[in-house]
Amino acid sequence: MSALTLPARLLSRRFGAPRALQVGAAIVFLWLSLAAVPAVFAPYDPIVQDLGATLIAPSLAHPLGTDNFGRDVLSRIIWGTRLDLAMGVFGVLAPFVIGCVVGLVSGYFGRVVDALLMRLLDVTISFPYFVLVIAIISVLGPGLQSFFISVALVGWVSYARLIRAQTLVLKESEFILAARSLGYSKARIMFRHILPNAVLPAAVFSMSDIVIVILLGSALSYLGLGAQPPAAEWGVMIAEGQVFMATAWWISFFPGLAIVLLALGFSLVADGLAERFGVRE
Amino acid sequence: MERFAFVLYRPLQLVPVLFGVSAVSFLLVHSIPGDPVRILLGTRATAEVLAKVRAQYGLDEPLIVQYFFFLKNLAAGEFGRSIIFKTPVMDLVATRISPTLFLLSYAVLLSVLLAVALATWAALRRGRFADQVIRLYSTAGLGLPAFWLGIVLIILFSIRLGWFPVSGYGAHFFGHLHHLFLPAFTIALALSPVLIRNLRSSLLHEMESDYVVTARSRGLPGSWIFLRHVFRNSLIPTITLLGINVGWLIGGTVVVEQVFSVPGLGSLMVGSIFARDYLVVQAVTLIFACAVILTNFLVDIVTVALDPRIRL
Amino acid sequence: MTAVPLLAVKDLSVVFRRRGADLEAVRGVSFALDASEILGLVGESGSGKTVTCRALLKLLPGQNARITGGTVRLEDQDLMPLREAEMRRIRGPKMAMIFQNPSSHLDPVMTIGRQIAEAIVFHERASEKQARSRALELLRQVGIPDAERQLDAYPHQLSGGMRQRAMIAIALSCRPRLLIADEPTTALDVTVQAQILRLLLRLRDETGLAIVLITHDLGVVAQTCDRVAVMYAGRIVEQGSKPTVLTCPLHPYTEGLIQSQPEAAPASERLSSIEGQPPSLADLPSGCAFHPRCRYAQAACRRHPPPLAEVDGHQTACLRWETLAATRRIAEPS
Q: Model confidence over B109-124: pLDDT tens digits?
A: 999 999 999 999 999 9
Contact assignment for A260 to B144 by CB distance below 8 Å: yes
Mean pLDDT of B57-68: 77
Residue A259: list chain B partners with CB under 8 A. 143, 145, 148
Question: Residue B77's pLDDT band (boundaries 50, 70, 90)?
Answer: confident
Q: What residues have CB less than 8 Å from C86, skipping those under 6 apart? A: none
Domain ranges of chain C: 251-331
pLDDT in the model for residue C321: 83
Residue A72 DSSP class: B
Contact assignment for B211 to C107 by CB distance below 8 Å: yes
ipTM here: 0.90
Contact assignment for A126 to B144 by CB distance below 8 Å: no
- pLDDT above 70 (res A171): yes
CA C226 to each of CA B125, C34, C205, C222, C317: distance values in angstroms, whole numbers, following the listed order: 46, 11, 13, 9, 20
Contact at 8 Å (CB) between C95 and C116? Answer: no
User: C302 — contact with chain B (CB < 8 Å)?
Assistant: no
Residue A256: list chain B partners with CB under 8 A. 145, 148-149, 151-152
Q: For residues C246 and B217, what is the distance between their CA atoms, to the nearest angstrom?
A: 32
Mean pLDDT of B71-83: 83
User: C123 — contact with chain B (CB < 8 Å)?
Assistant: yes
Touch between B and C (at least 3 CB pairs under 8 Å): yes
Interface test with C, best of B211, B227, B306, B310 (most C CBs within 10 A): B211
Residue C290 DSSP class: T
Residue A267: list chain B partners with CB under 8 A. 139-140, 142-143
Chains that touch C (3 or more CB pairs under 8 A): B
Contact assignment for B217 to C106 by CB distance below 8 Å: no
User: B31 — contact with chain C (CB < 8 Å)?
Assistant: no
pLDDT in the model for residue C91: 92
Residue C99: list chain B partners with CB under 8 A. 210, 213-214
Residue B31 DSSP class: T
Residue C271 DSSP class: P
pLDDT, averaged across chain A: 89
Closest CA to C206 of C323, C35, C62, C322: C35
A2-40+62-277, CATH topology level:
MetI-like fold (1.10.3720)
pLDDT in the model for residue B68: 85
Interface test with C, best of B202, B205, B209, B214 (most C CBs within 10 A): B214
Contact assignment for C90 to B219 by CB distance below 8 Å: yes
Residue B128: list chain C partners with CB under 8 A. none
Which residues 285-304 of B have a C-beta within 8 angstroms of A?
285, 288-289, 292-293
Question: Residue B150's pLDDT band (boundaries 50, 70, 90)?
Answer: very high
pLDDT in the model for residue C1: 61
| Bond preceding residue A230 cis, omega within 30 of 0 | yes
Q: Summarize pLDDT for C123-147 with one digit per residue, the tens.
A: 998 898 999 999 999 999 999 999 9
Touch between A and B (at least 3 CB pairs under 8 Å): yes
Q: Mind telling me how many Å the CA of A3 is from chain B's nearest CA?
A: 31
Closest chain B residue to the Cα of A217, Cα to Cα: B145
Q: Among A128, A211, A235, select the one facing B292 at the smallest CB separation.
A: A128
Touch between A and C (at least 3 CB pairs under 8 Å): no
Interface test with A, best of B27, B148, B154 (most A CBs within 10 A): B148
User: A225 — contact with chain B (CB < 8 Å)?
Assistant: yes
User: C59 — contact with chain B (CB < 8 Å)?
Assistant: yes
Chains that touch A (3 or more CB pairs under 8 A): B
Residue B220: list chain C partners with CB under 8 A. 88, 92, 118-119, 122
Contact at 8 Å (CB) between A268 and A13? Answer: no
pLDDT in the model for residue C178: 95
Mean pLDDT of B68-79: 84
Closest CA to B247 of B141, B148, B111, B104: B104
- Reduced to 3 states (helix: H, G, I; strand: E, B; else coil), residue C28 is strand
Mean pLDDT of B64-90: 84
- pLDDT above 80 (res A179): yes
Closest CA to C305 of C239, C236, C249, C230: C236
Closest CA to B237 of B198, B264, B276: B198
Output C191 or B56, whichever has higher pLDDT. Answer: C191
CA C114 to each of CA B18, B33, C134, C279: distance values in angstroms, whole numbers, following the listed order: 42, 65, 11, 43
Q: Mind telling me how many Å the CA of A131 is from chain B's nearest CA?
A: 6
pLDDT in the model for residue A255: 95
Q: Among A123, A134, A252, select the one facing B21 at the smallest CB separation.
A: A123
- Reduced to 3 states (helix: H, G, I; strand: E, B; else coil), residue C237 is strand
Closest CA to B186 of B249, B240, B139, B132: B249
- pLDDT above 80 (res B73): yes
- pLDDT above 60 (res A1): no
Contact at 8 Å (CB) between C40 and C224? Answer: yes
User: B191 — contact with chain A (CB < 8 Å)?
Assistant: no
Closest chain A residue to the Cα of B139, Cα to Cα: A267
- Reduced to 3 states (helix: H, G, I; strand: E, B; else coil), residue A180 is helix
Q: What residues have CB less than 8 Å from B38, skipping those under 6 apart? A: B45, B50
Residue A130: list chain B partners with CB under 8 A. 247-248, 250-252, 254-255
Residues of chain C with pLDDT under 70: 1-2, 264-268, 331-334
Closest chain C residue to the Cα of B212, Cα to Cα: C105
Q: Summarize pLDDT for B214-245 with one digit per residue, the tens.
A: 999 999 999 999 999 999 899 889 889 999 89
The CB-side HSE value for C117 (13 A sphere, CA atoms) comes to 20
- pLDDT above 60 (res A280): no
Contact assignment for B20 to A119 by CB distance below 8 Å: yes
Closest chain C residue to the Cα of B234, Cα to Cα: C109
Question: Residue A281's pLDDT band (boundaries 50, 70, 90)?
Answer: very low
DSSP per-residue string spanning C32-46? EE-TT-EEEEE--TT
